[in-house]
C-alpha cells in the first residue's frame, strides 16, 4: 500500500511539472511584404529564434504574417507589437485571427492602418506574442525590425507631444461666515414663541388642575405606566424637534421620530381606552342616580 501511494505521488508530481513547464509551440512562421498590386517584394520563412534583417516597406505596401499553433489549446491572444525606434516610442498592436486548426494570420495595409505608420519614415521593432489562460508560459518572439516609409504627399500631422508640468497653484477662497441676526430681535421672537406656554400655565392656575384621574390610575399600575410612557414619548418627540432645530441632521431625526411615534401610538391607544372606559362609567353612574 505504501509503495502504491509513493508511486501515485511521483506520478502526480511528474504530471504537475509537465503542465507547469508547458509553453506555446509555434511553427510555420512566414512574413511577406507585398506591393499594392499583390506582387511579393519580400518573403521570409522563420523558425524561432531566428531574427529577420531589417525590412523596408513603403506606405502603399501591405504586410502579411502567417503562423501555426501546434498546441491543442487555442490562444486567447495572438498579436504582433510594433514599437517605433525613436523618441516617441509609439506602440501599435495588430491582432491576428487563429482558426480551429491552429493556423493564424493577419494582413496589415500601411495606408489604412494606424496613422502612426504614416507620420514619416520610421523604424519599428516587431515582437510576436501568444498567450492564453490555460498555459502559463507565454510565447514571445522578437522578429526583427522593419522600416516603413512615410507617404510622399499629404502626410498626417502628428499630434503635439504633451508636456506635463506644474500648473499654477490654486488658492481656494472660503465663503465668509454668515452674519447672525441681532440678539434683540431673536430674543423678542423667542419670547413670542414662549407666550402661548405662559398663557397656558396662567389659565391652569386660574381654573385649577384636576389630579383625580391620576389618583384613580394609582390603583391600576398598568394604566399608570401606559400614561407615563405616552406623555414621556410626547415629550421625547418635542425634544427631537428641538434637537433638529439646533444641531441634529435630518436622517437621525427620522429614526428617532419613527421609534417614538410607534411608542406614542401604542401607549396612546391604551390611555384613550382608559379615558373612554372612565367616561362610560361616569355616564352609567349619572343614569342610575337620576
Residues 131 and 228 in one domain: no
Q: What is the DSSP letter of 137?
A: B
Largest CA distance in the chain: 129
The vertex-199 CA angle with 197 and 200, nearest 5°, equals: 60
> Is position 191 within any domain?
no
Q: What's the CA gap between 46 and 67, in Å, rounded?
A: 10
Residues 32 and 125 in one domain: yes
Residues 31 and 143 in one domain: yes
Residues 250 and 140 in one domain: no
Write phi, then psi, for 94 (nearest 5 degrees).
-120, 115
Task: Report the chain (290 residues): mean pLDDT per 10 consecutive residues.
Answer: 42 42 85 90 90 88 94 91 90 93 92 88 94 87 92 75 82 83 89 90 81 68 86 93 90 94 93 84 78
> Is position 179 within any domain?
no
Assigned C-alpha cell, 137: 508560459
Q: What's the CA gap between 240 and 255, in Å, rounded?
A: 10
Assigned C-alpha cell, 272: 384613550
- pLDDT of 167: 86
> Is position 136 within any domain?
yes
What is the residue whose three cell numbers read 423667542?
190
Helix axes 221-246, 250-289, angle to 10 degrees: 150
Residues 228 and 131 in one domain: no
Q: Is the pTM of this model over 0.85?
A: no
Q: Among the three residues 97, 120, 148, which one is the final residue of a domain in this structure?
A: 148
Q: What's the CA gap between 58 and 61, in Å, rounded?
A: 5
- pLDDT of 82: 95
Q: Among the three residues 130, 148, 166, which one is the final residue of a domain in this structure?
A: 148
Residues 138 and 244 in one domain: no
- pLDDT of 215: 67
Domain count, the chain: 2
> Is position 167 within any domain?
no
Q: Which H, E and C letters describe 199-232, residue by residue? A: HHHHHHHHHCCCCHHHHHHCCCHHHHHHHHHHHH
Residues 128 and 230 in one domain: no
Write phi, then psi, for 118 (nearest 5 degrees).
-115, 15
Residues 137 and 233 in one domain: no
> Is position 265 within any domain?
yes
Assigned C-alpha cell, 223: 394604566
Residues 28 and 104 in one domain: yes
Q: Among the three residues 123, 148, 173, which one is the final residue of a domain in this structure?
A: 148
- pLDDT of 264: 94
The enclosing domain of 83 has a CATH number of: 2.70.50
Which residue range is the domain that position 281 belongs to? 210-289
Q: What is the DSSP letter of 169?
A: P
Asked if 223 contacts 270 with a C-beta cutoff of 8 angstroms, the reply is yes
Amino acid at each position: 500500500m505504501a509503495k502504491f501511494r509513493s508511486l501515485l505521488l511521483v506520478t502526480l508530481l511528474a504530471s504537475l511539472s509537465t503542465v507547469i513547464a508547458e509553453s506555446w509551440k509555434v511553427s510555420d512562421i512566414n512574413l511577406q511584404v507585398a506591393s499594392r498590386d499583390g506582387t511579393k517584394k519580400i518573403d521570409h520563412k522563420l523558425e524561432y529564434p531566428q531574427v529577420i534583417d531589417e525590412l523596408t516597406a513603403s506606405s502603399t505596401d501591405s504586410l502579411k504574417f502567417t503562423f501555426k499553433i501546434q498546441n491543442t489549446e487555442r490562444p486567447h491572444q495572438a498579436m504582433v507589437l510594433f514599437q517605433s525606434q525613436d523618441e516617441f516610442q509609439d506602440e501599435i498592436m495588430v491582432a491576428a485571427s487563429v482558426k480551429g486548426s491552429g493556423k493564424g494570420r493577419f494582413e496589415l495595409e500601411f495606408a489604412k492602418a494606424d496613422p502612426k505608420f504614416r507620420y514619416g519614415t520610421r523604424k519599428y521593432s516587431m515582437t510576436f506574442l501568444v498567450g492564453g489562460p490555460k498555459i502559463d508560459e507565454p510565447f514571445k518572439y522578437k522578429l526583427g525590425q522593419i522600416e516603413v516609409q512615410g507617404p510622399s504627399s499629404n502626410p498626417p500631422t502628428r499630434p503635439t507631444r504633451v508636456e506635463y508640468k506644474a500648473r499654477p497653484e490654486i488658492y481656494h477662497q472660503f465663503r465668509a461666515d454668515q452674519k447672525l441676526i441681532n440678539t434683540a430681535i431673536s430674543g423678542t421672537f423667542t419670547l413670542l414663541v414662549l407666550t402661548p406656554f405662559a398663557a397656558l400655565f396662567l389659565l391652569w392656575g386660574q381654573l385649577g388642575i384636576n389630579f383625580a384621574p391620576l389618583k384613580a390610575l394609582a390603583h391600576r399600575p398598568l394604566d399608570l405606566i401606559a400614561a407615563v410612557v405616552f406623555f414621556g414619548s410626547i415629550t421625547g418627540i418635542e425634544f427631537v424637534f428641538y434637537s433638529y432645530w439646533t444641531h441634529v441632521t435630518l436622517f437621525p431625526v427620522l429614526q428617532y421620530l419613527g421609534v417614538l411615534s410607534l411608542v406614542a401610538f401604542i401607549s396612546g391607544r391604551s390611555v384613550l381606552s382608559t379615558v373612554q372606559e372612565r367616561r362610560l362609567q361616569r355616564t352609567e353612574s349619572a343614569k342610575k342616580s337620576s
